[in-house]
A = this chain, B = another copy of it.
Amino acid sequence: MKTIEAVTYPVHFHSQSYQDLSNLIAKNNYSTIFILVDENTFEHCYPKFIPNLATDKRIEVIEIESGEINKNIETCIGVWNAITELGGDRKSVLITLGGGVITDLGGFVASCFKRGIDFINIPTTLLSMVDASVGGKTGVDLGVLKNQIGLFANPEMVLVDTSYLETVNEREIKSGTAEIIKYGITYDVKLFNEIKNNKNLKINDLIFRAVEIKNEVVLKDPKEKDLRKILNFGHTLGHAIESFYLESENKDNLTHGEAIAIGMVCECFMSSKLLNFPKEKVAEVKETIVSIYTKTILLKEDFTAIMDLLKHDKKNVNGQVNFVLLNDYEDFKLDCKVPEELIIESMEYYNS
């Protein structure tokens, strides 16, 4: 595997990655290396990671609790206080070692500490490898509203070592798969077909292609003015569903991928009603997704709460929800207004 050159930083996949990381640290002469982990990545990933880091700099580990529920400003305050107490300064670097919560929150923490210190992303879940660790988005949730507070900020390097995937369970792998499906449907249908046919999947190749696509999209439109909005496909309704399960104390949370998988089925359905997206492709997407994920029936009594959460989507303007929909695979249309009844109908279609 080779290196993908993102806007201001490299994404390394090859076997020399750790050497490149050590070289970067030596070159930048950091004062202290902070490593942000959660209890899982500290137990399972840190012991694999640390022997590969060749440096004589001081290393300090900061652990936060795992889970989307902890991806908030209060956790950031804890990390900022920890870095402060451990003598962090402007020449410190923060290495994020974990899934999307760690990379999103860590990037935000680093970018705001003393008006910005360097950070390096080492994603350890499929989701963070293919999505969260590249593209310059950092952030945390505000209450249950996803990524409401954050910044565009680029890491100095991303290191993708797929051997960390041995440390995560199947449900996590499936969560990341949803983002690969999204790249397939919106940008490269070959990738979707590979997953749909599910024969001899080469995970490393899928990850590489996913990062390549995300990078192409982000390079063309870093600030999400137009093209980049395709990365939100499935996420508009998906985020609202994810937030709804997050705030419902008597329901188990969905993973991010499970929620946006539902979102993609619904948004394909909307596309078929409002645009010319073919009905048989809606069925194909639904079938593929239902074959991968345990089906979560959305209760009718919950539709109102989900619709309310939709109103906080970051793409909204003047209270109007803006969907990214599809004319066909690889052919999107931005800023689609969808009548409320059709959104509800799409959830009923998913349930059916």
Contact = CB atoms under 8 A, between A and B. Distances in A.
A112 to B, nearest CB: 5
B73 A317 contact: no
A143 B152 CA distance: 26
B91 A314 contact: no
A196 interface: no
A80 B142 contact: yes
Nearest to A136: B115
A149 interface: yes
Contact of A84 (B87, B137, B148, B319): B148
Interface in A87-118: 87, 89-91, 111-116
Nearest to A224: B115
Interface residues of A, number: 36
A115 to B, nearest CB: 5
Contacts of A311: 87
A151 interface: yes
A31 B145 CA distance: 20
A315 interface: yes
Nearest to A31: B318
Interface of A: prevailing SS? mixed
A28 to B, nearest CB: 12
B317 A149 contact: no
Contacts of A312: 84
A90 B224 CA distance: 11
A55 interface: no
Given A151-B112, A151-B116, A91 B139 contact: no
Interface in A177-197: none
Contact of A111 (B84, B151, B315, B316): B151
Contacts of A111: 151
B81 A317 contact: no
A89 B316 contact: yes
A77 interface: yes
A84 B81 CA distance: 27
A33 to B, nearest CB: 13
A312 to B, nearest CB: 6
A314 B152 contact: no
Interface in A111-135: 111-116
Contacts of A76: 73
A93 to B, nearest CB: 13
Contact of A145 (B84, B89, B316): B84
A260 to B, nearest CB: 19
A278 interface: no
What are the 8 A-B residue pairs with the smallest beta carbon separation, nearest first? A114-B314, A31-B318, A91-B317, A115-B150, A112-B149, A89-B316, A89-B317, A80-B142
Interface of A: 31, 73, 76-77, 80-81, 84, 87, 89-91, 111-116, 137, 139, 142-143, 145, 147-152, 311-312, 314-319
